[in-house]
């Protein structure tokens, strides 16, 4: 893969290379955890990276899963990471609700794969490309 020079160009490359999906969280009275559960019906493990945006602003880039010594994917997948506690004390519902109340509806985009590929590598690539272009990290990647 030729490395993209802009964050949006990299996203477009990832959209062409990996299975991806997105969903919107727009109702602060609804549980974000329930929104994730409803979007990922079927319960199959989904490993990869995810991006949380408000309107056009990228707020957070995260990963779900790690690669074990034998090359298999393990650990918390995207679904579990999205529904997990943040910063060891803030529930996902409260964390995402705060972001939602501050601005526009949240868009969550996920890139997933089943073959061994390091989610940490693609997360780092997304963060580095974002940093190169904007000279800082997304707001919530800096605050955790």
Q: Which residues of the chain have pLDDT under 50?
A: 144
What residues does each domain of the chain span? 7-143
Note the pLDDT of residue 144. 46
- How far CA 108 is from CA of 51, 89, 116, in Å, comes to 6, 22, 23
Residue identified by tokens 């990228």 is 58
pLDDT for 74: 83
What distance in Å separates the CA atoms of residue 59 and residue 77, rounded to the nearest whole number?
Answer: 20
pLDDT in tens, 62-73: 999 888 888 888
Residues 139, 120: Cα–Cα separation, whole Å: 19
DSSP letter for 86, please. Answer: B
The upper half-sphere exposure of residue 24, i.e. CA atoms within 13 Å in the direction of its Cβ, equals 6
CA neighbor of 31 nearest in space, from 76, 91, 87, 90: 91
Q: How far apart are CA 99 and CA 107, in angstroms?
A: 11
Supply the pLDDT for residue 143. Answer: 58
Is residue 59 within 8 Å of residue 43, measured between CB atoms? no
């Amino acid at each position: 893969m030729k490395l993209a020079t802009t964050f949006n160009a990299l996203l477009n490359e990832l959209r062409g290379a990996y299975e991806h999906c997105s969903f919107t969280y727009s109702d602060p009275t609804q549980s974000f955890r329930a929104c994730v559960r409803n979007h990922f019906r079927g319960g199959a493990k989904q490993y990869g990276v995810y991006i949380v945006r408000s309107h056009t602003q990228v707020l957070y880039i995260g990963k779900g899963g790690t690669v074990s010594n034998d090359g298999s994917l393990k650990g918390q997948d995207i679904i579990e990471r999205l529904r997990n506690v943040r910063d060891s004390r803030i529930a996902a519902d409260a964390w995402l609700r705060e972001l939602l109340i501050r601005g526009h509806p949240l868009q969550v985009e996920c890139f997933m794969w089943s073959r061994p590929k390091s989610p940490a590598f693609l997360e780092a690539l997304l963060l580095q490309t974002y940093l190169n272009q904007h000279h800082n990290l997304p707001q919530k990647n800096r605050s955790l």
